[in-house]
């Protein structure tokens, strides 16, 4: 299956009433398990390289690994830069074979966020790939507080930036380890009333699964970013594998044992995206 752009997978998702999982990758083991999960569920998937992933592994290496998996997959795979903070970083991702760029100008004043995101969207579109932007600010558990998306600003951002998908702040918070949060459905409805752009929810780990599915089916939310939930599954599997046999030292034999539990956790996430 050829690699896909964000628009390739999100437009059908919006039109047919489901969402696509944007799964946060930290390395070869998890990205491989995520593609296996998507194939098992016969669903498209978005492999995401965020800031902590790129701090550990350079973008050209990540691009090559993700493309290697995507080019051989039986389902559409998007190779996505998550939270790009500079034009330079976005250019390197483009040159590294990414098929989608997120530019995050959400901490900047509206006009600056629009201008900078529009420049990244133009770069992406010129190369035949997609761009995601963020309006409003999605905060962090035990960190910066959120700033909810204003529907009027969202409509202007979507129109003037030219992005293919728009991340919004509607009660979602990054890095939550439980699913006790919930999204503000009234704010989502107010946003989708003024724009028809596919919407993205960051901090998907904190959203109750029933709400993820319900909104995937009934709203313009077409992409949930999920990281923490899967990192927890990976961490638990790794801890088990390391401690089960204290004599074992070969890392490949240890890491191999993370594959099945991480694939199972990713399959559960993908099943919650509302596809029938």
In the complex, the residues that contact ligand 13P under the rule CB under 6 A are 24, 50, 82-83, 174-176, 202-206, 225-229
- 21 phi, psi to nearest 5 deg: -80, 125
Q: Which CB, 227 or 272, lies closer to ligand 13P? A: 227
Q: What angle do CA 58, 60, 64 make, to 5 degrees?
A: 120
Which position's Cβ is nearest ligand 13P?
227
Q: Which CB, 5 or 228, lies closer to ligand 13P? A: 228
Q: Which CB, 30 or 82, lies closer to ligand 13P? A: 82
Q: Which CB, 6 or 24, lies closer to ligand 13P? A: 24
Structure tokens at 125: 């579109």
Residues taking part in catalysis: 82
Q: Please report how close the Cβ of residue 207 comes to ligand 13P at its closest, in angstroms.
A: 9
Q: Which CB, 126 or 143, lies closer to ligand 13P? A: 143
Q: What DSSP line would sit under 98-134, residue for residue?
A: -SEEEE--TTS-HHHHHHHHHHHHHHHHHTT-EEEEE
Write the DSSP symbol of residue 273.
T
Give the integer Cα–Cα distance in Å for 194 and 153. Answer: 10
Q: How would you classify the pairing of strands 199-201 and 221-226?
A: parallel
Give the integer Cα–Cα distance in Å for 153 and 37. Answer: 37
Q: Please report how close the Cβ of residue 134 comes to ligand 13P at its closest, in angstroms.
A: 9
Q: Please report how close the Cβ of residue 170 comes to ligand 13P at its closest, in angstroms.
A: 13
Q: Please report how close the Cβ of residue 189 comes to ligand 13P at its closest, in angstroms.
A: 22
3-state secondary structure of 239: helix
Q: Which CB, 187 or 202, lies closer to ligand 13P? A: 202
3-state secondary structure of 64: helix
Q: Please report how close the Cβ of residue 83 comes to ligand 13P at its closest, in angstroms.
A: 6
Give the integer Cα–Cα distance in Å for 103 and 119. Answer: 10
Give the integer Cα–Cα distance in Å for 155 and 194. Answer: 6
Task: Judge residue 190's burial from the number of C-beta atoms within 10 Å of its C-beta, 0-12 exposed, 13-18 middle, 19 or more buried.
Answer: middle
Q: Please report how close the Cβ of residue 203 comes to ligand 13P at its closest, in angstroms.
A: 4
Give the integer Cα–Cα distance in Å for 3 and 26. Answer: 20
Beta strands in 172-239 (DSSP E): 199-201, 221-226
């Amino acid at each position: 299956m050829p690699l896909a752009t964000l628009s390739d997978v999100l437009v059908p998702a919006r039109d047919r009433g489901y969402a696509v999982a944007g799964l946060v990758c930290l390395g070869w083991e998890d990205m491989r398990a995520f593609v296996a999960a998507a194939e098992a569920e016969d669903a498209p998937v978005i492999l995401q390289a965020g800031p902590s992933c790129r701090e550990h592994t350079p973008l050209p290496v990540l691009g090559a690994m993700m493309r290697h998996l995507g080019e051989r997959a039986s389902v559409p795979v998007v190779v996505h830069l998550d939270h790009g903070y500079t034009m330079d970083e976005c250019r390197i991702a483009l040159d590294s074979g990414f098929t989608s760029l997120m530019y995050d100008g959400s901490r900047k004043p509206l006009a600056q966020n629009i201008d900078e995101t529009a420049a990244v969207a133009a770069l992406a579109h010129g190369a035949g790939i997609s761009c995601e932007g963020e309006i409003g600010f999605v905060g962090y558990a035990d960190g910066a507080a959120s700033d909810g998306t204003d529907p009027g600003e969202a409509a202007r951002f979507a129109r003037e930036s030219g992005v293919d998908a728009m991340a919004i702040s509607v009660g979602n918070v990054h890095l939550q380890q439980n699913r006790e949060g919930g999204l503000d459905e009234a704010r989502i409805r107010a946003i989708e009333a003024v724009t028809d752009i596919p919407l993205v929810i960051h901090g998907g780990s904190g959203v109750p699964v029933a709400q993820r599915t319900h909104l995937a089916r009934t709203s313009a939310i077409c992409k949930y970013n999920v990281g923490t939930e899967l990192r927890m599954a990976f961490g638990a599997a790794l801890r088990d594998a390391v401690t089960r046999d204290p004599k074992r030292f070969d890392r490949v034999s240890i890491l191999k044992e993370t594959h099945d539990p991480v694939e199972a956790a990713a399959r559960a996430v993908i099943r919650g995206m509302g596809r029938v």
